């Protein structure tokens, strides 16, 4: 499959949601609503290989840029935490597009937003597909199951981005003082930082994914959730990430990922009581929707029936 590496490959729609202008792509209008939520360092472009196949499978595929990312606007209230993103998604899919329920999928930050959305608005997310994402914070339950959740040496080495983006974003932004430096910084996560399977992203792919982060304000906005997670900046409200979930969940794990727990599959077995999987997907890392797009598309199609 050859994907169009073009920002305008799909028509762009916009909506005012909770005081923020959200940009989104929608395909397969009239099908069963399926919300695809990107993470960091991503925008809606990370789903470019999934939109057409899932629309052809009968879904109304809704792919937004989160507030502060890509083509969406900056948040006047300054909140870029999980709960703020979750409430935006509920307002977009429910209030603007008129869907009483949906299915949702996401990795990284997007996976956390999906989990919050499904718990915060009971019954709104009928099923969720998650991969290589933030997990519910259940230390006692994981310990009781014999699961070690302390960061591995490779996770600690890879976590420099998290600390700097969360604790000293202005200092880091000042170092990235040209458009090319900002693009190079983001492109690293698709290459030598070993988030992805080696070779999964060509140079052109990495340039395509990094281009939306040229804007320094959006670069900083994208780091906002890290500051909230570390307690350095205020959050709109606590995320729903401290409880088990009974929402039917499909879990997949790309093992070529140095920033997610190696015990991610076992953690899923503790965190989600209605679980399909977890399935380990070889030749995939953090960006499973791009690296193994055809596999993920089929898994979602059959999971959602």
Residue-wise pLDDT for 255-271, tens only, equals: 999 899 999 999 999 99
How far is CA 33 from its chain centroid? 18
Tokens linked to 255: 């093992």
Between 253 and 154, whose confidence is greater?
253
Distance CA 58, CA 297 (A): 12
Identify whether the C-beta of residue 129 lies closer than 8 Å to the C-beta of residue 302: no
Domains of the chain: 12-157+237-304 (3.40.50.1820)
Contacts 24+ apart (CB under 8 A), 233-239: 234/79, 235/79, 235/81, 235/82, 235/83, 235/84, 236/77, 236/79, 236/81, 236/83, 236/84, 236/87, 237/81, 237/83, 238/83, 239/81, 239/82, 239/83, 239/86, 239/112, 239/116
Strands 249-253 and 275-280 come out as parallel
Residue-wise pLDDT for 74-101, tens only, equals: 999 999 999 999 999 999 999 999 999 9
Tokens linked to 61: 């595929």
pLDDT at 1 over 50: no
Q: What global pTM score does this model have?
A: 0.96
């Amino acid at each position: 499959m050859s994907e169009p590496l073009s920002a305008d490959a799909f028509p762009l729609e916009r909506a005012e949601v909770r005081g923020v202008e959200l940009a989104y792509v929608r395909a397969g209008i009239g099908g069963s609503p399926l919300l695809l939520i990107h993470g960091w360092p991503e925008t809606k472009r990370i789903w470019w290989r999934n939109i057409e196949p899932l629309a052809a499978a009968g879904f109304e595929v809704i792919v937004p840029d989160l507030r502060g990312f890509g083509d969406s606007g900056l948040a006047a209230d300054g909140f870029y935490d999980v709960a703020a993103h979750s409430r935006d998604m509920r307002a977009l899919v429910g209030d603007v597009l008129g869907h009483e329920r949906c299915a949702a999928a996401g990795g990284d930050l997007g996976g956390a937003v999906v989990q919050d959305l499904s718990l915060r608005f009971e019954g709104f997310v009928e099923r969720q597909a998650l991969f290589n994402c933030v997990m519910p914070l259940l230390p006692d339950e994981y310990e009781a199951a014999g699961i070690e959740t302390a960061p591995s040496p490779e996770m600690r080495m890879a976590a420099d981005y998290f600390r700097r983006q969360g604790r000293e974003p202005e200092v880091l932004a000042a170092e990235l003082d040209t458009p090319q430096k900002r693009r190079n910084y983001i492109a690293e996560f698709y290459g030598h930082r070993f988030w992805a399977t080696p070779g999964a992203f060509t140079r052109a792919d990495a340039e395509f994914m990094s281009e939306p982060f040229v804007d320094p304000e959006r670069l900083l906005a994208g780091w906002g959730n890290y500051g909230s997670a570390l307690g350095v900046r205020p959050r709109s409200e606590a995320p729903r990430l401290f409880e088990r979930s009974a929402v039917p969940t499909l879990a997949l794990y790309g093992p070529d990922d140095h920033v997610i727990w190696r015990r991610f599959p076992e953690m899923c077995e503790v965190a989600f009581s209605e679980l399909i999987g977890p399935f380990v997907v070889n030749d995939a890392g953090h960006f499973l929707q791009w690296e193994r797009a055809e596999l993920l598309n089929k898994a979602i199609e059959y999971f959602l029936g």
